């Protein structure tokens, strides 16, 4: 068995250049940096418009050291299929074809192309960094914005609807690997991306990605806020490996333990300031019920 990944043995090779345009304290920057470490040099990236477009740089300078094709917003899953098609046609093996998109590009405008790619069984890795709103255009609500969150298009009451469960939708396609990860747990993310490179067919990794300006917290708290999402049981780290669900890492350790109250997470960010006590209680009850179900399901 391969050596367990630790901070100390994690590769020092970087595929992202410093001095890029990502905001200070950007969660995506951490996710991207770790993901590319796991993918390595023989990788072709497919990227729709998103904060990543900005991070990757303006012509003629690229902040990424890997080949990348920028594609239209709704087309990422299909474009990744096209790159893989070309690799097969040209008999180029051992290349990771990786789509990397935000939550809007994945679960909203891009879901059709992604669904098509999953249904066809395309040999691609799809990584969604979920910062829970349209951040690149200035924090508008998205399908994955949680209920109650203030955005520039839900400016007073907060979003009325609940968060779309995109990894569950993708898992419903019956693909062999679906995982969640978080910017706050880079080693867990690294291992999942690495694992995805060894599995055939479509692989989907959904990464919770704290965003200081969009979520309303100081740049130094990106990791703290990301960890709170997991420690309160709101966002869970898991894998669905050939249909088998299991919690991983910090979420696995929460089983049977007392979790931090969700209110602690809500208090850490400005975007939740319109939540009232009833809503907080309601969310706490939902989280408790979810974890009760985990306990029953995973205890067997």
Partner 1 sequence: MHIIESGNVAAATGVKLARAQVIAAYPITPQTPLTEKLSEFVESQELDAQYIPVESEHSAMAVCIAASSAGARAFTATSANGLLYMNEQLHWAVGARLPVVMCVANRGIGAPWTVWNDQQDSMSQRDVGWIQLYANDHQQIIDSVIKAFRLAQSVSIPVMVCYDGYLLSHTYMPFERPGQEQVDAFLPSFTPKHFLNPDEPGNFNTVTLPDIRPGVDGTMEPGYIEIRHNLHQDLRGALEVYADIDAEYEKECGRGGTPFVEQYRCDDAECVAVAVGSLSYQLRDVIDILRLEGLRVGVMSVQMYRPFPDGAIVEALAGRKSVIVFEKALSYGNQGPLYADIKAALYSRGDRPPMQNYILGLGGREIKTSQLLDALRQSCSAIEAIDDTPRWIGLKL
Partner 2 sequence: MAHRDFCKMISRSKPGPGDGGKTGSWRVLRPILHAEKCIPVKAGKKACFNCWLYCPDCVVTKTIPPTIDLEYCKGCGICAEECPADAIDMVAEDSFSVKEK
DSSP-based three-state secondary structure for 112: helix
Handedness of CA 139, 144, 150, 154 (dihedral sign): positive
DSSP-based three-state secondary structure for 173: coil
**Nearest residue (CB) to partner 1, 126 versus 265:** 126
Instruction: For the segment 147-176, give every residue that binds partner 1 (CB under 8 A).
Output: none
d(C-alpha 49, C-alpha 53), whole Å: 6
- The answer to the question of residue 77 lying near partner 1 (CB under 8 A) is yes
d(C-alpha 251, C-alpha 255), whole Å: 7
In the list 70, 140, 147, 162, the residue contacting partner 1 (rule: CB under 8 A) is 70
In the list 11, 58, 264, 285, the residue contacting partner 1 (rule: CB under 8 A) is 58
d(C-alpha 225, C-alpha 221), whole Å: 6
DSSP 127-172: EEEE-SSBTTTTSB--TTSPTT--BTTB-SS---SPPP-HHHHHHT
Instruction: For the segment 5-44, give every residue that binds partner 2 (CB under 8 A).
Output: 7-8, 10, 12, 14, 16-27, 29-30, 33
Site string for partner 2, 172-211 (x = CB under 8 A): --------------xx------------------------
Residues in contact with partner 1 by CB under 8 A are 41-44, 46, 53-54, 56-62, 64-72, 74-75, 77-83, 85-90, 95, 112-113, 115-116, 119-120
Residues in contact with partner 2 by CB under 8 A are 7-8, 10, 12, 14, 16-27, 29-30, 33, 56-65, 186-187, 212, 218-224
């Amino acid at each position: 068995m391969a050596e367990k990944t630790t901070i100390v043995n994690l590769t020092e090779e970087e595929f992202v250049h410093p001095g890029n345009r990502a905001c200070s304290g950007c969660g995506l920057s951490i996710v991207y940096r770790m993901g590319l470490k796991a993918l390595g040099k023989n990788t072709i990236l497919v990227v729709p418009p998103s904060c990543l477009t900005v991070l990757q740089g303006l012509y003629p300078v690229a902040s990424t050291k890997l080949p990348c094709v920028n594609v239209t917003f709704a087309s990422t899953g299909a474009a990744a299929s096209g790159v893989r098609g070309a690799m097969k046609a040209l008999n180029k093996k051992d290349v990771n074809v990786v789509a990397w998109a935000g939550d809007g590009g994945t679960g909203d405008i891009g879901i059709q192309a992604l669904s098509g790619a999953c249904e066809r069984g395309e040999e691609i890795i799809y990584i969604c960094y979920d910062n829970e709103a349209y951040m690149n255009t200035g924090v508008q609500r998205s399908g994955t914005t949680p209920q109650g969150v203030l955005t520039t298009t839900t400016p007073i009451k907060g979003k009325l609807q609940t968060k779309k469960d995109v990894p569950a939708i993708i898992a419903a396609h019956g693909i062999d690997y679906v995982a969640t990860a978080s910017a706050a747990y880079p080693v867990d993310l690294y291992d999942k991306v690495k694992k995805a490179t060894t599995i055939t067919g479509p692989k989907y990794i959904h990464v919770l990605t704290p965003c200081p300006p969009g979520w309303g917290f100081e740049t130094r708290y990106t990791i703290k806020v990301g960890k709170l999402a997991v420690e309160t049981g709101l966002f869970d780290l898991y894998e669905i490996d050939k249909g088998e669900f299991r919690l991983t890492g910090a979420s696995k350790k929460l089983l049977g333990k007392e979790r931090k109250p969700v209110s602690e997470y809500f208090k850490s960010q400005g975007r939740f300031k319109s939540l009232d006590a009833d809503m907080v209680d309601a969310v706490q009850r939902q989280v408790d019920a979810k974890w009760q179900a985990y306990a029953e399901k995973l205890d067997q």
